[in-house]
Amino acid sequence: MTRPSSSLLRQPLDKPLLYDSSDRVVPLGDAIGAGGEGTVFEINGHPKLLAKVYHKASLNDQHDHKLRTLVSLGAEDLLGIAAWPRALLFDPRTKAVRGLMMDRVADAHPLHELYGTTSRSRTFPQAQWGHLVLAARNLAAAFGTLHERGVLVGDVNQGNLLVDGKMCVRMIDCDSFQVTHRKHVFRCPVGTPHFTPPELQSMKLADVDRTAEHDAFGLAILIFHLLFVGRHPFAGRYQGPGDMTIEKAIAERRFAFSHNRSDTQVDPPPASLRLDDLPHGIGELFERAFRADIDNPVRPKPEEWIGELETLIKQRRVCPIEEAHVYSSASLDCPWCRIENAGGPSFFLNIGAVDGTSESRLAALDAQLEKIEAIQFPELPTLTLKLPRLPMAMQSAKAPQRGTADWLAAGWIGSAALCLGGAFCGPVLAAGAVGSLATAGMLAFGKAGKQRRQTLVEADAALNERLRKLAAGSSKISADHGKRLEEYDAYAASVSTGIQRYKADTEDMETILRQLRIEQKEDFLRGYSIRDYRRRIPGLTPQMVAMLDSYSIDSAYHVQKILLTGVPGLTPAVMLELQAWRTRVEEKFEYKAEEGITERELNADKQEATRRFKIALARKILQGAKRMRSMAFAAQGQLDQAIAVYKRHVEQWRGLAHQRQQTQAARAPWERKLNLNLATVIGAGVGAPLVGALLWLIVR
């Protein structure tokens, strides 16, 4: 429906002389608004009332009848939520109905001033998302009250609803509502296509009896506008061919935020809230409202909305970083921060306790920045990561049980003694030699001796293998930790640059802005990888790309003369082409005032621009601090886990080592030395008689 421009108001208006039902003059005051059907005037002496006077001098019977019925239906609950017609106004001469009187909805504004971000900051500076949810709840309640009385809004739109500072919602333009009286339906002949359900799209509305299902569609659209700060549920990015108007999308049930993307073929618009940012129940209501079966729609009733929205109000959460961000506890992270971090707008601003000036916002942020305590990145416990050493062999308290090998070793010692002593007596030597050879031979080749040697070899091999693994594990832990630390340090460095810039004086702002521009440009250039654009650079072969790669020249940023000249295999022609490509890329660069201000603004009002810059920066720093904290936290967790595993392995190794030492301790000391390995045993077995024989020769 077309609302004529406000210019109507600027044209001279004739103020007709009108009577009320008891023929008293109703003195019209100033006109405060005009619409397609009539002009709305103040009434002198009655500040709480307004008069709507129709443009037409005589109304048709149907309209006349409808207005009289409306006045007769007025009830307290309706008067509370709507500017319901209280009385009629008559032409003094013809007695025809010319207009009506209604309550003035004071200090209230059209709904779009609340959900529109710019108008909200002007008209409702205190309103945060929670307020929008509350307005949605009250809106549903107003629809509920009307529906209880059998009244339908019919022409649902953003202009016929006024909301006040307390988020209470009231309806105007009630003479277009559809009412039923004694079985007679007084229709609402008009509609607004963006709020009209699919089954009524492109129908002639004057011929349609509206139902509560139709109103339910319009109500859901309005609630969506509020919750999604102005987005229309059917305006998204259509993936199919051709243009998709909202009317068409509605008719084809292409709800742009639906979970059923394969059906709708529409992606939600960028930088907006998502359905998943809301509690599941609310998402379901939207899906039901916008994807309802056209032939038999069952859309959410006002009571259902009231229930879900009240739960949402109770379970809302305030962002720990920016207290102006209010969101549903259904989402893990603050969706407003997510949108802002991705370069989207600030839908809600922290206006502090008193006013919306940047000074007070800055003071609030200052206080928060103070609170960033020094964040500790966990240190690597180098002592714990040292490799374990063999424990001392502990002599067990009770005397160890001697085995065959021990006795054989003892036998050899005796034989060896005989061999040495035999230097003076041949038969003794012979006996010693036989004994030595026999005991050593048995120790060397017998089962008992062999087993002892093998146990030791195996134990040592196992211990060594595990030690090697431990060493590898320990160095992996250090390496992983080092990598995390490096990442953290890089991040911390950028945060601390941020803090420095934040603390900078107004005088240094220009330098900072220039620097930001350079950094942004460098990042932009880094985004253009040579490999991806190879085909656009004449003469550049894959081999050259590989060569450039090995010189760490992989993006437009690195295409600099000094860097290029060192690279072998690069012809001067290709070098020029590369540089030309870089110039082309550079031309595409468009500086985005990242922190919200440009040099131009800085020149206009340095103080204010600096404050705005700092506000944006402070938010980033707080975000950064949050991220640093979570990095440190994650690093601690991962380190703890890895160390626990390492420690368990060390314990296992110690267990094995201890066992080895125990076994060793259980052997007689002389056996341990003699039976060290096969060579020692044989050497000793043969050596003793030999030495004896030698001595015998010398002595003789």
Partner 1 sequence: MDQLSAESAFSSVEFAENPEPRVPCVLVVDTSTSMQGLKLIELSKGLATYRDQLMKDALASKRVEVGIITFGGRVQRRTKFVTAPDFVPPQLDAIGGTPMGEAILEAITMVEERKQAYRENGIAYYRPWIFLITDGEPNDHWKPVCSRVEAGEKDKSFCFFAVGVEGANMEVLSEISVRKPLWLMGLKFHELFTWLSNSQQAVSQSSPGEEVALQDPTSGPTGWAAI
Ligand X SMILES: Nc1ncnc2c1ncn2[C@@H]1O[C@H](COP(=O)(O)OP(=O)(O)OP(=O)(O)O)[C@@H](O)[C@H]1O
Considering the complex, state which of residue 69 and residue 494 has its C-beta at the smaller distance from ligand X.
69
Could you say which of ligand X, partner 1, Mg ion, none residue 237 binds, taking C-beta under 5 to 8 angstroms by partner kind?
partner 1
Residue closest to 567 by CA, chosen among 544, 585, 542: 544
Work out whether 33 is an interface residue with ligand X (CB under 6 A): yes
Considering the complex, state which of residue 109 and residue 582 has its C-beta at the smaller distance from ligand X.
109
Question: Cβ of residue 117: shortest distance to partner 1, in angstroms?
Answer: 5
Considering the complex, state which of residue 243 and residue 373 has its C-beta at the smaller distance from partner 1.
243
The first and second tokens of residue 652, run together, are 């296992």
Could you say which of partner 1, ligand X, Mg ion, none residue 118 binds, taking C-beta under 5 to 8 angstroms by partner kind?
partner 1
Considering the complex, state which of residue 1 and residue 212 has its C-beta at the smaller distance from Mg ion.
1
The amino acid at residue 576 is L
Cα 412 from Cα 674, distance rounded (Å): 9
Considering the complex, state which of residue 155 and residue 671 has its C-beta at the smaller distance from partner 1.
155
Work out whether 173 is an interface residue with Mg ion (CB under 5 A): yes
The first and second tokens of residue 285, run together, are 């209501």
Residues binding ligand X: number (CB under 6 A): 19
Q: Which of 21, 25, 30, 36 binds ligand X (CB under 6 A)?
A: 36
Considering the complex, state which of residue 37 and residue 406 has its C-beta at the smaller distance from Mg ion.
37
Q: Which residues inside 51-70 make contact with ligand X, applying CB under 6 A?
A: 52
Cα 556 from Cα 571, distance rounded (Å): 18
Work out whether 104 is an interface residue with ligand X (CB under 6 A): yes
Stretch that binds ligand X, among 33-41, 346-354, 430-438, 588-596 (CB under 6 A): 33-41
Total Cβ atoms within 10 A of residue 379: 10
For the residues of 627-645, what is the DSSP string, one character each? HHHHHHHHHHHHHHHHHHH
Cα 54 from Cα 18, distance rounded (Å): 12
Work out whether 38 is an interface residue with Mg ion (CB under 5 A): no
Cα 509 from Cα 91, distance rounded (Å): 68
Question: Cβ of residue 233: shortest distance to ligand X, in angstroms?
Answer: 23
Residue pair 348/128 in contact (Cβ under 8 Å)? The answer is yes
Ramachandran class of 163: left when φ > 0, alpha when ψ lies in -120 to 50, beta otherwise: beta
The first and second tokens of residue 574, run together, are 């290709």
Work out whether 105 is an interface residue with ligand X (CB under 6 A): yes
Cα 412 from Cα 696, distance rounded (Å): 19
Work out whether 50 is an interface residue with ligand X (CB under 6 A): yes
Work out whether 37 is an interface residue with ligand X (CB under 6 A): yes
In degrees, rounded to 5, the angle at the alpha carbon of residue 209 between the alpha carbons of residues 206 and 210 is: 105
Work out whether 595 is an interface residue with ligand X (CB under 6 A): no
- Which 3 state secondary structure label does DSSP give 124? coil
Considering the complex, state which of residue 111 and residue 433 has its C-beta at the smaller distance from ligand X.
111
Question: Cβ of residue 173: shortest distance to Mg ion, in angstroms?
Answer: 4
Interface residue list for partner 1 (CB under 8 A)? 1-7, 110, 112-113, 116-119, 159, 192-194, 230-232, 235-238, 243, 245-247, 256, 268-272, 339, 343-345, 347, 588, 590, 592
Question: Cβ of residue 210: shortest distance to ligand X, in angstroms?
Answer: 16
Q: What are phi and psi of 165, to 5 degrees?
A: -60, -20
- Which 3 state secondary structure label does DSSP give 51? strand
Stretch that binds ligand X, among 99-107, 316-324, 444-452, 463-471 (CB under 6 A): 99-107
Residue closest to 526 by CA, chosen among 552, 501, 550, 545: 552
The first and second tokens of residue 116, run together, are 């529109």
Could you say which of Mg ion, ligand X, partner 1, none residue 116 binds, taking C-beta under 5 to 8 angstroms by partner kind?
partner 1
Residue holding tokens 């196992």?
462
Quick one: CA torsion of 449, 453, 454, 457, rounded to 10 degrees? 180
Question: Cβ of residue 206: shortest distance to ligand X, in angstroms?
Answer: 14
Could you say which of ligand X, partner 1, Mg ion, none residue 347 binds, taking C-beta under 5 to 8 angstroms by partner kind?
partner 1
Can you give the three-state secondary structure of 264-333, one letter per residue?
Answer: HCEECCCCCCCHHHCCHHHHHHHHHHHCCCCCCCCCCCHHHHHHHHHHHHHCEEECCCCCCCEEECCCCC
- The kind and range of the H/E element at 103 are strand 97-103
The first and second tokens of residue 527, run together, are 């985004």
Stretch that binds Mg ion, among 35-43, 69-77, 262-270, 324-332 (CB under 5 A): 35-43
List, in order, residues 6 or more apart from 110 with CB less than 8 Å away. 158, 159, 161, 162, 163
Q: Which residues inside 153-212 make contact with ligand X, applying CB under 6 A?
A: 159, 172-173
Stretch that binds Mg ion, among 165-173, 339-347, 369-377, 473-481 (CB under 5 A): 165-173
Residue pair 19/26 in contact (Cβ under 8 Å)? The answer is yes
Considering the complex, state which of residue 70 and residue 437 has its C-beta at the smaller distance from ligand X.
70
Q: Which of 16, 35, 218, 624 binds Mg ion (CB under 5 A)?
A: 35
Question: Cβ of residue 172: shortest distance to Mg ion, in angstroms?
Answer: 7
Stretch that binds ligand X, among 28-36, 211-219, 502-510, 686-694 (CB under 6 A): 28-36
Considering the complex, state which of residue 43 and residue 545 has its C-beta at the smaller distance from ligand X.
43
Work out whether 40 is an interface residue with ligand X (CB under 6 A): yes
Could you say which of partner 1, Mg ion, ligand X, none residue 112 binds, taking C-beta under 5 to 8 angstroms by partner kind?
partner 1
Residue pair 524/516 in contact (Cβ under 8 Å)? The answer is no
Residues in contact with Mg ion by the rule CB under 5 A: 35, 173
**Which residues of the shown chain bind ligand X in the complex (CB under 6 A)?**
1, 3, 32-38, 40, 50, 52, 83, 102, 104-105, 159, 172-173
